[in-house]
């Protein structure tokens, strides 16, 4: 039994398409994913706007809401909740150069239309959060945008979302690069600063994804801690990453067990989840994985998180205090290694 409520997105079960090869698994219908998510023990689903309403660009505002209500009924059928809706602003021709920080007024307006429709969809699904993964908000050519002006545009766009709905929370998912070269919200520190500059900072928080922190050369647990201190860790995307290369979305804990332990530890120590925050598993199956067992990476990630919760519960705080008092961090470190290795 876990203290956490786990979620995943429909994109976490995919065909295995990558830059060097096509899909290797058949497309799984959305309802089948919901059914299986419930079976493996997830509590909820994370959505991109067009995961929930695929043809939304060609639909009226009312039709979008009606379609999303049907999706909510399907979720209810499987006892799942919707955690968040994220406008997918990186696929459309209108957002080739970003949305909220695009140089084109028309593209900015399109991004705002999608952001507001995402809020409508979130309301229809019963989700309290909008997540902004700012995929193309930044530059490929550094001189193509004025970064000061564009960070202002990002803040304006969030203010506009907050004004559109007086309850919705906006969570920014930091990531330093990929697909963009230089992104405007690369770390949790950037997200906290943007939050503070909005009209309602209490409604603007962060999502920390383990792999994104590692790509920024930072420690995921420390990044979580930073947002927790400001009461702004609205969600997490647990996964893992082998160093600074392409975004891998490996199963949680498979590269750095100690790093994963410290993420679970900081979440447990600071009562993450007490205000309804959930634990997203933004993990990708290896391309080699066969369709018969293509939820294994989600199940493994959840199991590792839960096993680490047990390690956190066993963590000897008295011994930690003794090591701290004696400034014997070598002893403390070895204790952690023995705890993790079951010695």
Map residues 18-37 to x or -, x wherever contact with Mn ion holds by CB under 5 A: --------------------
| The binder of Mn ion chosen from 72, 128, 237, 311 (CB under 5 A) | 237
Residue 86 interacts with which of ligand XUL, Mn ion, none, CB < 5 to 8 Å by class: ligand XUL
Report in angstroms how near the CB of residue 281 gets to ligand XUL at its nearest: 11
Nearer of residues 157 and 323 to ligand XUL, judged by Cβ:
157
| The binder of Mn ion chosen from 238, 282, 302, 311 (CB under 5 A) | 282
Where are any strands of DSSP class E within 113-262?
Answer: 129-133, 138-139, 169-173, 182-183, 204-209, 233-238
Stated as kind and residue range, the H or E segment containing 190 is helix 188-197
Rg of the chain over all Cα atoms, to the nearest angstrom:
20
CA dihedral sign of residues 189, 192, 198, 203:
positive
Residue 247 interacts with which of Mn ion, ligand XUL, none, CB < 5 to 8 Å by class: ligand XUL
- Of 82, 151, 78, the closest CA to residue 118 belongs to 82
Map residues 116-145 to x or -, x wherever contact with Mn ion holds by CB under 5 A: ------------------------------
Continuous H helices in 41-146: 49-52, 61-77, 105-125
Closest residue by beta carbon to ligand XUL: 133
Work out whether 223 is an interface residue with Mn ion (CB under 5 A): no
Whether the bond between 179 and the residue before it is cis, its omega within 30 degrees of 0, is yes
Count CB atoms within 10 A of the CB of residue 17: 12
Give me 181's structure tokens. 């070269």
Nearer of residues 90 and 113 to ligand XUL, judged by Cβ:
90
Give me 142's structure tokens. 């550094």
Interacting residues with ligand XUL (CB under 6 A) = 48, 86, 133, 173, 175, 209, 237, 247, 282
Residue 145 interacts with which of ligand XUL, Mn ion, none, CB < 5 to 8 Å by class: none
Report in angstroms how near the CB of residue 327 gets to ligand XUL at its nearest: 39
């Amino acid at each position: 039994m876990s203290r956490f409520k786990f979620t995943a997105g429909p994109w976490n079960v995919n065909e295995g398409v990558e830059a060097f090869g096509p899909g290797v698994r058949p497309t799984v219908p959305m309802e089948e994913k919901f059914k299986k998510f419930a079976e493996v023990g997830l509590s909820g689903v994370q959505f991109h706007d067009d995961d929930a309403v695929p043809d939304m660009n060609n639909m009226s505002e009312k039709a979008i809401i009606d379609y999303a209500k049907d999706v909510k009924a399907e979720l209810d059928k499987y006892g799942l909740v919707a955690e968040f809706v994220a406008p997918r602003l990186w696929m459309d021709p209108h957002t080739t150069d970003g949305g909220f920080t695009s140089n084109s007024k028309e593209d900015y307006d399109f991004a705002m239309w999608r952001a507001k429709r995402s809020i409508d969809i979130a309301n229809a699904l019963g989700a309290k959060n909008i997540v902004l993964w700012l995929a193309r908000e930044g530059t490929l050519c550094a001189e193509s945008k004025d970064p000061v002006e564009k960070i202002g545009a990002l803040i304006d766009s969030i203010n506009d979302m907050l004004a559109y709905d007086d309850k919705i929370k906006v969570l920014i998912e930091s990531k330093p690069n990929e697909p963009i070269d230089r992104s405007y919200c690369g770390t949790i520190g950037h997200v906290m600063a943007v939050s503070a500059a909005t009209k309602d900072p209490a409604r603007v928080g962060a999502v920390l994804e383990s792999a994104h922190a590692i790509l920024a050369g930072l420690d995921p647990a420390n990044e979580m801690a930073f947002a927790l201190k400001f009461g702004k860790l609205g969600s997490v995307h647990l996964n893992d990453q082998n160093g600074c290369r392409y975004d891998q979305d490996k199963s949680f804990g498979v590269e750095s067990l100690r790093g994963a332990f410290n993420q679970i530890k900081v979440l447990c120590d600071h009562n993450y989840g007490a205000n309804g925050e959930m634990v997203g598993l933004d993990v990708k199956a290896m391309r080699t994985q066969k369709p018969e067992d293509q939820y294994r990476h989600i199940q493994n990630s959840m199991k590792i998180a839960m096993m680490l919760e047990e390690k956190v519960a066993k963590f000897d705080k008295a011994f930690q205090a003794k090591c701290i008092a004696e400034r014997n961090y070598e002893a403390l470190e070895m204790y952690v290694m023995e705890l993790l290795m079951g010695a």
